[in-house]
A and B are shown apart, each in its own frame.
Chain A
């Protein structure tokens, strides 16, 4: 690299056909994201949705955001920020997932249903969810 080059020596112009193909792939993957909700994937539905979104995000980052053609340090910045978000998420979940679901009775009925049933008959202090409270 000469010391006095004035123009942008390393301009990489992405071919229009590549951009159009990426666009087509993004549209197709959006359709797939919607289509997978028509079938019941059970516990896999969230990982599948995140996976498809991540494939779309990688396509956008590599081609629309030129990371494929850039110096790799820009990609390092992006990956580092995502790493720290995942770290944040992981540590928060480590904490929040390790409380007993029925610590506050009736507070998390969606996941604490079996536990609540075993607790409810144990004493008068815990009426079944939905029963009229004495106070009303």
Chain B
């Protein structure tokens, strides 16, 4: 070894071996990320298999338009990220910086749209667990928002006490609510149709929704920090055809974040 690249650690034979080792390490990390999200996808699937009516009812509350726009934003950011990796490989410094900046802007746009969505859920009491209280928050929504609970399951001996372990969905005066003659409220844009009765335990959908999109949002934040880091390094001219490993690996991470959303969008927003 006559010359020694500044980026080549001494325990690697050559730059190619070092690069491919880094990339394999990143793929192993991405595999753990897929398994992490896998647990949530299993929770989603099990609950949807057992309680399809909850998902059919609750998905009406989600804003398909904003979700769709966010999908397009992420796909565009994936393209600019892939082009940024390409520019770094070709040693086009200014182009790398510009493309990374556009990717970062797309990430800001995604989180901004997500903030608008979360804020609307918060204001309407469409939250997880005990915090799912649309009737208390949305005075204009009318009687159909008061959960009409089925009668309490009988506590026969040997029936098991599983039902009693589940807290009531909402502390509304169930017995007083008019059941057959619920007046049709003005149909909001993002509400279930008035003739669709609210099932029990709608809060489960929002628990899953916030767990999945929240974990994804944390990954978007982490990706933005990583992109900012390589953006600063790219500005200093640290990357070129000989060494662009960080750009490539952050790119892989960002594409995985996009990939997860590709599944989340139809599964949460586009339920039929």
Residues of B near any A CB (own CB < 8 A):
1-5, 8, 13-16, 19-20, 23-24, 27-28, 30-32, 34-35, 38-39, 41-42, 45-46, 49-54, 56, 64, 68, 71-72, 75-76, 78-79, 81-83, 86, 89-90, 148, 150-154, 156, 159-160, 162-163, 174-175, 179, 199-200, 241-244, 248, 251-252, 255-256, 258-259, 262-263, 265-267, 270, 272
Contact = CB atoms under 8 A, between A and B. Distances in A.
Interface centre among B86, B255, B259 (most CB of A within 10 A): B259
Contacts of B265: 30, 33, 53
Interface of A: 1-11, 13-14, 16, 19-20, 22-23, 26-27, 30, 33-34, 37, 40-41, 45-46, 49-50, 52-53, 56-57, 60-61, 63-66, 70-71, 73-74, 77-78, 80-82, 84-85, 88-89, 92-93, 96-97, 103-111, 125-133, 135-136
B16 A9 contact: yes
Given A49-B266, A82-B34, A85-B38, A127 B79 contact: no
Given A85-B35, A110-B199, A37 B241 contact: no
Contact of B27 (A34, A78, A89, A106): A78
B75 A23 contact: yes
A63 B259 CA distance: 13
Contact of B49 (A9, A97, A128): A97
A66 B244 CA distance: 14
A13 B3 contact: no
B242 A6 contact: yes
Nearest to A95: B46
B58 to A, nearest CB: 12
Given A6-B14, A93-B45, A110-B53, A52 B266 contact: yes
Nearest to A128: B151
B3 A106 contact: no
A107 B31 CA distance: 36
Contact of B41 (A49, A63, A71, A85): A85
Given A61-B259, A77-B28, A6 B152 contact: no
Given A34-B270, A61-B259, A64-B81, A132 B49 contact: no
